[in-house]
Amino acid sequence: MLNRRTLAAALIAVLAAPSLAAAQATTPSASQIERQLQAAPTTKLKPNQRVTVREFKRRPDLRRMAPSIDIQSINFAFGSAEVPYSQYGKVENIANALDRILRRDPDARVLIEGHTDAVGSFGSNQALSERRAASLKQTLVREFGIPRYALETVGYGEEFLLVPTQNENWRNRRVTLRRYDAFIR
């Protein structure tokens, strides 16, 4: 039988922790996204160390140095890559941040990384993550007027799990925005 102190501690923990639905629904504001992507890279590369976009996508060491923000709140239907209209308010935050960044720095470039959890085959998760990143880019370009040239996409599937588990975990199903212009030749 639980004593009162244990019961009180458990109740406080439940009340203090955000619910799964609330955590998934939390979208960073345009200002938060902008601040994260405007941050200086953790390491400044010399001109002879810069790489192509293709190389940047393949190098986790470089990507970790680039300013980034995880967006875990865009909800796709199971197995779908389409950005539902119900999610456009969240996408608008991204678009507003990108628009402000590009007004100040037209040479800014952002990589949209798609990620999945580990449920399903490696190949299907890889393909799904690529389609979701491309779908977000398409929505930003067509619906919100972000210039196509400013966005690149890549899918990493289940390769870079935030929560290392083979089970379903919503934190792993995300899009990461990563500013990469300081790394490219």
Dist. CA 136–CA 107, nearest whole Å: 20
Please state the pTM of the whole predicted model: 0.83
pLDDT tens figures, 122-141: 999 999 999 999 999 999 99
Q: Which of 124, 115, 91 is nearest to 175 (CA)?
A: 115
Q: Going along 17-125, which residue ranges are E strands? A: 68-71, 110-115
Q: Going along the chain, which residue ranges are E strands? A: 68-71, 110-115, 151-157, 174-179
Q: Quickly list H helices, 72-169.
A: 88-104, 122-144
**Which tokens go with 90?**
């969240």
Tell me what pLDDT residue 5 has: 45
Helix (H, G, I), strand (E, B) or coil at 175: strand
